[in-house]
Amino acid sequence: MAPAVLIEKLQKRYGSVEAVKDVSFQVEPGEIFGLLGPNGAGKTTTIRCLCTLAKPDAGKVEVSGISVMDNPRAARQRLGYVAQEVALDKVLTGRELLQLQAALYHLPNRVAKQKIETILGVLGLQEYADKKTGTYSGGLRKRLDLAAGLLHQPDVLVLDEPTVGLDIESRVVVWNFLRQLRDAGTTVVITSHYLEEIDALADRVAIIDRGVVIAQGTPSELKDQVGGDRITLRIREFSPVEEAKKAKDMLQSLPFVQEVIINVAQGNSLNLVVKPQSDALMTIQQSLREAGLPTFGIAQARPSLDDVYLAATGRTLMDAELAAAGSRDPKAERKQSMR
């Protein structure tokens, strides 16, 4: 059986900006596959190439064995796409919008009516179905957008940041619905920069940074590759780099410490990978005191997907988000969005 999605050595450039440099992954039928990375990493560009909304400069992109470049129409018939930005006609009711969507997919009236009623019920939209979408909350608008992408029962549902800006209740509704789709055999590809979302939903995940896949596997596999518990340590609220380096050299000599990274973006804090040990925090604090160094803050936790990203790039996802926000060119973004 062909993969539900196959992407090999994808490249895409917008003018002088290399949005995607080298992205390769495949998605198996009936799984939730997550693309995790900060804003500007290349997730949305990858998804747009997959959904025939942008033409790749190089590489292979297939949906159920169909090339999206050679046969885009056939590929679209197997795809459902829900963009990050919700675009609904405010003068239509929810039901009218779904009826329009069904007509665009050439669904017979009887079939369309049945599908609309079913999906309204599953997504909890029945009591709002005959109200104009302009009166919907953000969560209801996102649910309706999701319903529109599913009317034709696609083999692969592609979601770009589906829960951005949603309240907790709406987010839980979307998560539960995506799990139901997966269990019923629909393949789901989801992009997100929410760590907890990918960790909770994805059967497998690819982490993208600066247009390149830097890690992929199941969430458990990726965390196991990092190894050990994670300790975040602050010598001071904002430590001098010399003091942080002194602490790093001292900590690396402890037998249970596997790795130490200085996080410059967070005031030269130290991120440690350690072998699980009940007295790790106590031993570290004692060693710091003996070296004449204070402890401003210290915490221990099991590995997370953010630790996977940190190990691969030397920065956390939050650091990457802040860096992207600081370097973002509004004029370039407007040009890119118009392409």
The answer on 119 and 55 residing in a single domain is yes
Whether the per-residue pLDDT at 237 is higher than 70: the answer is yes
The answer on 107 and 29 residing in a single domain is yes
The answer on 64 and 16 residing in a single domain is yes
Q: In the beta sheet, which residues pair with residue 62?
A: 6, 67
Whether the per-residue pLDDT at 338 is higher than 50: the answer is no
Would you say how long the chain is, in residues?
339
Q: Give me the domain span that covers residue 86.
A: 5-223
pLDDT score, position 332: 47
The answer on 241 and 108 residing in a single domain is no
User: Can you list the alpha helix ranges (DSSP code H) found in the chain?
Assistant: 43-50, 72-77, 94-104, 109-122, 138-150, 168-183, 195-201, 219-226, 241-251, 280-290, 305-313, 317-327, 330-338
Tell me, yes or no, whether 319 lies in a domain: no
d(CA 20, CA 17) in angstroms, rounded, equals 9
Percentage of residues in the chain with pLDDT exceeding 70? 96
pLDDT score, position 339: 44
Cα 185 versus chain centre, distance: 21
User: Can you list the alpha helix ranges (DSSP code H) found in 51-194?
Assistant: 72-77, 94-104, 109-122, 138-150, 168-183
Contact predicate 147/95, CB 8 Å: no
The answer on 218 and 256 residing in a single domain is no
Q: Which segment, 51-65, 134-148, 305-319, is predicted with the most confidence on average?
A: 51-65
The answer on 188 and 84 residing in a single domain is yes
Please state the rounded mean pLDDT for residues 259-274: 91
The answer on 286 and 203 residing in a single domain is no
Residues with Cβ within 8 Å of residue 111, at least 6 apart in sequence:
none
Provide the pairing of β-strand 187-192 with 32-36.
parallel
Tell me, yes or no, whether 298 lies in a domain: yes
Whether the per-residue pLDDT at 308 is higher than 80: the answer is yes
pLDDT score, position 328: 56
The answer on 147 and 52 residing in a single domain is yes
The answer on 236 and 214 residing in a single domain is no
246, burial (CB in 10 Å: exposed 0-12, middle 13-18, buried 19+) = middle
Residue type, 305: L
d(CA 18, CA 14) in angstroms, rounded, equals 6
Whether the per-residue pLDDT at 211 is higher than 70: the answer is yes
Tell me, yes or no, whether 27 lies in a domain: yes
Tell me, yes or no, whether 294 lies in a domain: yes
Helix (H, G, I), strand (E, B) or coil at 66: strand
Question: What CATH number should be reported for the domain holding residue 165?
Answer: 3.40.50.300
Residue 268 backbone class (left: φ over 0; alpha: ψ -120 to 50; beta: rest) = left
Mean pLDDT for the chain overall = 89
Question: What CATH number should be reported for the domain holding residue 254?
Answer: 3.30.70.100
pLDDT score, position 333: 46
The answer on 265 and 210 residing in a single domain is no
The answer on 214 and 251 residing in a single domain is no
Contact predicate 179/170, CB 8 Å: no
Cα 158 versus chain centre, distance: 12
Predicted TM-score (pTM) of the model is 0.76
Whether the per-residue pLDDT at 277 is higher than 90: the answer is no
- Pick the closest to residue 156 from 186, 200, 134, 132 (CA basis): 186
Total domains in the chain come to 2
pLDDT score, position 31: 97
Residues 89, 143, 178, CA angle at the centre, nearest 5°? 145
